[in-house]
Chains A and B, each alone.
Chain A
Amino acid sequence: MHSVVAIKQVPDTSNVRINPETGTLIREGVPTIINPYDIHAVEMAVRIKEKFGGTVTVISMGPPAAMEALVECVEQGADRAILISDRRFGAADTLATSYVLAHTIEALQAEGPIDLLLFGKQAIDGDTGQVGPGVATRIGVPLLSNVVVIESFDPVARKAVVHRKIEQGIEVLETRLPALLTVEKEIAAVKRAPLSNLINAARYKPELWTADAPVPFDIAQVGIKGSPTIVGKAFTPTPREAGAILSAAEKGLSQVVADALAMIVQANVVTLQNHNGGRP
Chain B
Amino acid sequence: MSEQVETASPRIWVFIEQEDGRAHPVSWELLGAAARLSAELPGSVVEGVLLGHNVAGIAPEAYRYGAKRVYMIDNPLLEVYRNMPYGAGVSSLIAKYQPEIFLVGATTLGRDLAGTVATRVPTGLTADCTELAIDPKLKILAATRPTFGGNLMATILCRKHRPQMATVRPRVLPMPEPLPAAEGELLREPFDLSESDIPVRRLRLIPGKEQLNIEYADVIVAGGRGVGGPKGFKLLAELADSLGGVVGASRPVIDAGWLAHEHQVGQTGTTVRPKLYIAAGISGAVQHTVGMSGANFILAINSDPKAPIFQIANASIVGDLYKVIPELIRQVKGMSNGQ
Q: Are B124 and A264 in contact (CB under 8 A)?
A: no
1/0 contact string of B273-316 vs chain A (CB within 8 Å) = 00110000000011100100100111100000100001111111
Asked if A227 is an interface residue, CB under 8 A from chain B, the answer is: yes
User: Which bracket fits the contact residues of A?
Assistant: 35 or more
Q: Are A95 and B122 in contact (CB under 8 A)?
A: yes
Q: Are B148 and A235 in contact (CB under 8 A)?
A: no
- The 8 Å CB contact of A236, one of B123, B152, B276, B310, is B152
A15 to B142, CA, bound (A): 28
A125 to B267, CA, bound (A): 10
- Whole-angstrom distance between the Cβ of A123 and the nearest chain B Cβ: 11
A194 to B286, CA, bound (A): 37
Contacts of A261 in B (CB 8 A): 328, 331-332, 335
Asked if A171 is an interface residue, CB under 8 A from chain B, the answer is: yes
Given known contacts A176-B200, A229-B157, A246 and B297 CB-to-CB distance under 8 angstroms = no
1/0 contact string of B136-173 vs chain A (CB within 8 Å) = 00000010001111111111111111000000000000
Contacts of B202 in A (CB 8 A): 171-173
* Chain B binding surface, main DSSP class: mixed
Asked if B76 is an interface residue, CB under 8 A from chain A, the answer is: no
Given known contacts A232-B155, A269-B296, A137 and B115 CB-to-CB distance under 8 angstroms = yes
- Whole-angstrom distance between the Cβ of B20 and the nearest chain A Cβ: 8
Q: Are A249 and B319 in contact (CB under 8 A)?
A: yes
A16 to B290, CA, bound (A): 14
- Whole-angstrom distance between the Cβ of A256 and the nearest chain B Cβ: 5
Complex: chain A residue closest to B114, CB-CB: A130
Q: Are A245 and B115 in contact (CB under 8 A)?
A: no
Which of A98, A132, A263, A270 neighbours the largest number of chain B CB atoms within 10 Å of its CB?
A270
Binding site for A on B (CB under 8 A): 19, 83-84, 87, 107-109, 111-112, 114-116, 118-120, 122-128, 135, 142, 146-161, 199-209, 218-219, 241-244, 251, 267-268, 275-276, 285-287, 290, 293, 296-299, 305, 310-320, 323-324, 327-328, 331-332, 335-338
Binding site for B on A (CB under 8 A): 11, 13-14, 16-18, 25, 93-95, 98, 124-134, 136-138, 141-146, 161, 163-176, 179, 227-237, 239-240, 242-249, 253-254, 256-261, 263-264, 267, 269-270, 272-278
